[in-house]
Amino acid sequence: MLIRKAVIPAAGFGTRFLPFTKSVPKELAVLVDKPVIQYVVEEAAACGITDILMIVSSGKEAIARHFNPDFELESRLESSGKAELLRQLREISSLARIHYVYQHELDGLGGALRCAEEFIGDEPFAVLLGDTVCSGTRPVLAELLEVFQATASSVVALERVPEEKVSRYGVVGGSAAEGLKSNALKLDELVEKPEKENAPSNLAIASRYVFTPGIFGALSAVGRGKNNEVQLTDAMKLLLKSEAMYGVEIEGKRHDIGDKLSFLCNTVEFALKRPEFRDDLIKFLKGKLENC
């Protein structure tokens, strides 16, 4: 079964990135010249997603403005002969059909997903966190969709993290999955923020998911958990009791821009990938480092 719908949660407060996020959604933070959430939508579109539901909150209307066409600006670019910019702009609004729903109470990632139930209905769907870009030779979501096609079960992206950092993540346990690539696991355990000693592995859940609609029943059953929020991991744990679930250790890399330092590091990393900036940026950075 082909998956055509995706949900992008983008309603959060972004407290780790204050004061910037007081009036600007962190999902619009820019990596070189593109907002983070545009990279996310591009990843979804590259994987055949045609309809995206963005979960937003009051004050985050600029996200919709970024994806809606701006005919006045387009005609200005057209009349001034800026054809390449015009092409880029038109491409943004043609990536996918984007729909919006407000999460009125910010009760966590699980709460955000509950807002998508009506839009998704009774079919499997993808989830891509709006503040995390994935890079690599192949879109991470494509790796997950491949496992979904083979198993018809929920699939989560996994990233290996240093053992001393497992307590920051949702961590999985599992075993090799028969008939699937060696980077896929059949999951038998999910633990939110475990101590290093109790962690089933150092494979952390990494911001891309494919869910069967069974996740909605699990989300309503678990209700609010830690921090009085609906915890997605709690719902996934419950779903794992009744349905198989798989994980895929991603080949690409995850870039979370939700905190200030990782945003800064990712900005440099993405700029270094751009041929038009690379040499001058290296010169600049070397100059700075000499004085450190």
Smallest gap from Cβ 253 to ligand UTP, in A, equals 18
Any contact of residue 15 with ligand UTP (CB under 6 A)?
yes
Any contact of residue 27 with ligand UTP (CB under 6 A)?
yes
Longest dimension (CA), the chain: 64
Candidate ranges 11-19, 61-69, 240-248, 281-289; the one touching ligand UTP (CB under 6 A): 11-19
Any contact of residue 58 with ligand UTP (CB under 6 A)?
no
The single residue among 6, 12, 147, 158 that binds ligand UTP, judged by CB under 6 A, is 12
Beta bridge partners of 209: 127, 156
Find the helix or strand (DSSP H, E) in which 72 lies.
helix 71-79
Smallest gap from Cβ 75 to ligand UTP, in A, equals 33
Nearer to ligand UTP, 13 or 284 (CB): 13
Task: Tell me which residue has its CB nearest to ligand UTP.
Answer: 12
Nearer to ligand UTP, 27 or 143 (CB): 27
Nearer to ligand UTP, 55 or 240 (CB): 55
Any contact of residue 218 with ligand UTP (CB under 6 A)?
no
CB atoms within 10 A of CB 147: 23
- Asked if residue 194 lies in contact with residue 102, where contact means CB atoms within 8 angstroms, the answer is no
Helices (H), 133-274: 140-151, 214-222, 232-242, 260-272
d(CA 151, CA 188): 15
Any contact of residue 43 with ligand UTP (CB under 6 A)?
no
- Asked if residue 52 lies in contact with residue 96, where contact means CB atoms within 8 angstroms, the answer is yes
d(CA 204, CA 168): 9
d(CA 221, CA 218): 5
Q: Under rule CB under 6 A, which residues in 244-263 are in contact with ligand UTP?
A: 258
Smallest gap from Cβ 285 to ligand UTP, in A, equals 27
- Residues that bind ligand UTP (rule: CB under 6 A) add up to a total of 22
- Asked if residue 11 lies in contact with residue 111, where contact means CB atoms within 8 angstroms, the answer is no
Candidate ranges 4-12, 138-146, 168-176, 235-243; the one touching ligand UTP (CB under 6 A): 4-12
Indicate the SS3 state at residue 179.
coil
- Asked if residue 8 lies in contact with residue 52, where contact means CB atoms within 8 angstroms, the answer is yes
Q: Under rule CB under 6 A, which residues in 95-134 are in contact with ligand UTP?
A: 103, 106-109, 111-112, 129-131
**Which stretches of the chain bind ligand UTP, using CB under 6 A?**
9-17, 27, 55, 103, 106-109, 111-112, 129-131, 258
